[in-house]
């Protein structure tokens, strides 16, 4: 009896360790495939090199890093006003019933396939940009708008949870001192929920950096260092997805190396979000 229970516990421990094993395996395989070329080309040359022409043996991913940074920054700029509005409105100004209805609707946005978002960018945004702002359509601007919408649910949902986690006494305390609701939110609630909201934003950034299919469809994918919102750009993820199916040899390794850069970026963002959300809990 006892030994059977122990056996079961051991089996469950194995399943619990699976996420660690998978995580380490991912790191192992990606580094094993991608690290050699980084070492051969040199980290500096690989990360800061501006020429990407695999046929000529030139592997610089700086344009993709800049493209990813532009598009991600744009996405956050598009997303923040909307997601914070939603979060503050639903948490502080609406009834629990409205919140209970709208929150799942916003979370449903996360369920729409990313290829559908990309498609919406192609059929709705491109013509709009062409007709009103000029340019071809595929650009940093369109990618930012679509990605901004895609990361809305992540940020909104975590921000609502953080706001709701602020003890009710903060609100009562501030309101009883004669503050208006908005003053209360600004002076008492937002500061208390700051870490949680920030961790949501960081996770949103992670989503934007990692998004692939939608970005391929709307960012234009040219390997250039963009200098305006209307320029096309290529992200790290797009670089991998676009060339993987025909890449061989050094070229393939360079794509895995792009994966390494992406992996490290995401890990750093994850760690920051983790620390922030833990700090939010401890308070």
Partner 1 sequence: MLKPILLEKLVKKILFVGTAITVFILFFIIFYILKNGLAVIDMEFLLSSPKDLGRAGGIFPCIVGTIVLSLIAILIATPLGVGAAIYLTEYTRKGRLISIIRFFTECLSGIPSIIFGLFGFVLFVVYLGFGWSILSGGLTTAFMLLPTIIRTSEEAIKAVPDYYREVSLSLGGTKWQTIVKVVLPSALPGIATGIILGIARSIEETAVVIFTAGSVLHLPTSLFDSCRTMSVHFYILAREGISMENAYGTAAVLIITILLINMFAYWLMHRLIAKYS
User: Which one of the spans 42-50, 60-68, 106-114, 161-169 is the region binding partner 1 (CB under 8 A)?
Assistant: 106-114
Shortest Å, Cβ 31 to partner 1: 11
- Assess 156 for contact with partner 1 (CB under 8 A): yes
Please say which residue, 109 or 225, places its beta carbon nearer to partner 1: 109
Residue 131 as a binder of partner 1 (CB under 8 A): the answer is no
Distance separating alpha carbons of residues 30 and 35, to the nearest angstrom: 8
**Does 274 engage in binding with partner 1 (CB under 8 A)?**
yes
Element (H, E) at 2: helix 2-41
Residues in CB range of 282: below 8 A, 6 or more apart = none
Q: Which is nearer to partner 1, 44 or 179 (CB)?
A: 179
Secondary structure, 3-state, 243-274:
HCCCCCHHHHHHHHHHHHHHHHHHHHHHHHHH
State how far the Cα of 184 lies from the Cα of 171, in Å rounded to an integer. Answer: 7
| Nearest distance in Å: CB 227, partner 1 | 26
Q: How far is the CB of 101 from partner 1 (least distance, A)?
A: 10
Q: Which residues contact 136 (CB under 8 A, 6 or more apart)?
A: 126, 130, 220, 232
* Min dist. Cβ of residue 233 to partner 1 (A): 17
Q: By C-beta, is 114 or 162 nearer to partner 1?
A: 114
Nearest approach in angstroms of CB 232 to partner 1 is 15
Q: Is 267 in the site for partner 1 (CB under 8 A)?
A: yes
Identify the three-state secondary structure at position 36. helix
CA quadruple 157, 159, 163, 165: dihedral sign = positive
Task: Tell me how far, at minimum, the Cβ of 225 lies from partner 1, in Å.
Answer: 22
Structural element, H or E, at residue 53: strand 52-53
Q: Residue 41 contacts by C-beta under 8 Å, 6 or more apart in sequence?
A: 49, 59, 254
Residues 157 to 216: which contact partner 1 by CB under 8 A? 180-183, 203, 206, 209-213, 216
CB of 85 to partner 1, least distance (A): 2
Binding mask 34-63 for partner 1 (x = CB under 8 A): ------------------------------
CA distance 189 to 201: 17
In the list 1, 55, 56, 131, the residue contacting partner 1 (rule: CB under 8 A) is 1
C-beta neighbour count of 102 within 10 angstroms: 16
Smallest distance, partner 1 to C-beta of residue 256, A: 6
Number of residues counted as binding partner 1 (CB under 8 A): 82
* C-beta of 56 vs 248, nearer to partner 1: 248
Nearest to 75 by CA among 172, 206, 178, 177: 206
Picking from 220, 222, 212, the residue whose alpha carbon sits closest to that of residue 53 is: 222
Pick between residue 70 and residue 256 the one whose CB is nearest to partner 1: 256
The single residue among 65, 189, 190, 217 that binds partner 1, judged by CB under 8 A, is: 217
> Does 12 sit near partner 1 (CB under 8 A)?
yes
């Amino acid at each position: 009896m006892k030994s059977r229970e122990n056996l079961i516990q051991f089996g469950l421990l194995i399943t619990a360790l699976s996420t660690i094993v998978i995580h380490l395996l991912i790191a192992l395989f990606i580094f094993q495939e991608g690290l050699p070329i980084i070492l051969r080309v040199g980290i500096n040359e690989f990360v800061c090199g501006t020429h990407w022409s695999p046929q000529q043996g030139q592997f610089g991913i700086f344009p993709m890093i800049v493209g990813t940074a532009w598009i991600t920054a744009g996405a956050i700029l598009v997303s923040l006003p909307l997601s914070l509005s939603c979060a503050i409105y639903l948490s502080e100004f609406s009834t629990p019933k409205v919140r209970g209805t709208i929150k799942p609707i916003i979370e449903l946005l996360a369920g729409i396939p990313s290829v559908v978002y990309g498609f919406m960018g192609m059929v709705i945004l491109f013509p709009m940009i062409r007709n009103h702002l000029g340019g071809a359509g595929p650009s940093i601007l369109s990618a930012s708008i679509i990605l901004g919408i895609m990361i809305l649910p992540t940020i909104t949902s975590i921000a609502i949870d953080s706001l709701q986690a602020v003890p009710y006494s903060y609100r009562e305390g501030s309101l009883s001192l004669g503050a208006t609701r908005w003053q209360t939110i600004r002076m008492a609630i937002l500061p208390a929920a700051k870490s949680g909201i920030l961790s949501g934003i960081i996770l949103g950034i992670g989503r934007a950096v990692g998004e692939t299919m939608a970005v391929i469809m709307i960012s234009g994918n040219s390997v250039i260092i963009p200098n305006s919102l209307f320029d096309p750009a290529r992200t790290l993820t797009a670089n991998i997805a676009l060339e993987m199916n025909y890449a061989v040899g050094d070229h393939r390794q360079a794509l895995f190396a792009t994966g390494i850069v992406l992996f490290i970026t995401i890990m750093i963002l994850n760690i920051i979000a983790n620390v922030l959300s833990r700090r939010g809990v401890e308070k």
